[in-house]
Homo-oligomer: A and B are copies of this chain.
Amino acid sequence: MSFKSNSINIVLVETSHPGNIGSVARAMKTMGLSKLSLVNPKDFPSGDANALSGNARDLLDSAKVYPNLKDAIKESTFVYATSARNRSINWPNVSPEEAAKKIIDQSINGKEVSIIFGREDRGLKNEELQLANYHLEIPANPDYPVLNIAMSVQIVTYELYKNANLIEEKEWRDFPEVNSKDLQRLIDHFVETSIDLELIDPDNPSQIISRLKRMFTRLQPDSMEANYLRGFLGAINKRLK
């Protein structure tokens, strides 16, 4: 048993150094992955990226460039964001090994998965982290947890490759999970309805919107559930008019 290489999307957000993109491509290929997405890279295509990609130049040639993160992950059913510890609100979090086991299972079941890696210097912003179902944290020396981005990709993809032969799990869902775009639409609809119901002050939402995002990404509704919830919100909207 193995994962489907083309269903696992490695997403790099606003990478500054093109050499890192090349190193990421090489790291991915050594672990059997091929799908690379770049969100607003500073310099790409680039000779430095090519030089460091070794024989993984094909991954750079087929890499897709997106203007923003939401577009890069919109087809994905499951989204993992690598992160360090400092967050405004705790999120469901997994180790690289736990993530690998989940992702392999999700991939085998035909789902697209995105794994997001942040900027070299500042990682991912809170609103980017909150697009994810899971946060993925690489265990590291607390005195110096500063892994190079390509090193982080190497560890995560190594765990994927290593665990790819160990898993079997039964699918219990009868409808597919919604993709990230539809999930975000559902969350937006819920937040707007909350505002209409005067449960959230749009000028001072405090933590509640983050909490709702966390709740819905954790739920990962299937298409039937999401349709029902959208219908539920729509019925409320109609009555409020």
On A, residues with C-beta under 8 Å from B are 23, 26-27, 29-32, 54-56, 89-93, 95, 97, 138-141, 143-148, 150-151, 154-155, 158, 161-162, 165, 167, 170, 172-174, 194, 197-199, 208, 211-212, 215, 218-219, 221, 224-225, 228, 231-232, 235-236, 239-240
Contacts and interface: CB of A to CB of B under 8 A. Distances in A.
Nearest to A208: B228
Count of identical protomers in the assembly: 2
Given A30-B146, A215-B221, A228-B212, A140 B161 contact: yes
Contacts of A55: 144, 146
B219 A148 contact: no
Nearest to A27: B151
Given A26-B148, A93-B172, A232 B141 contact: no
Contact of A199 (B140, B145, B221, B235): B235
5 contacts: A93-B172, A139-B167, A208-B228, A239-B239, A239-B240
B30 A151 contact: yes
B235 A141 contact: no
Given A139-B161, A215-B225, 4 more contacts: A29-B141, A30-B151, A93-B170, A147-B154
A8 to B, nearest CB: 13
Nearest 4 CB-CB pairs, A to B? Answer: A90-B172, A197-B235, A32-B141, A151-B154
Contacts of A154: 147, 151, 154-155
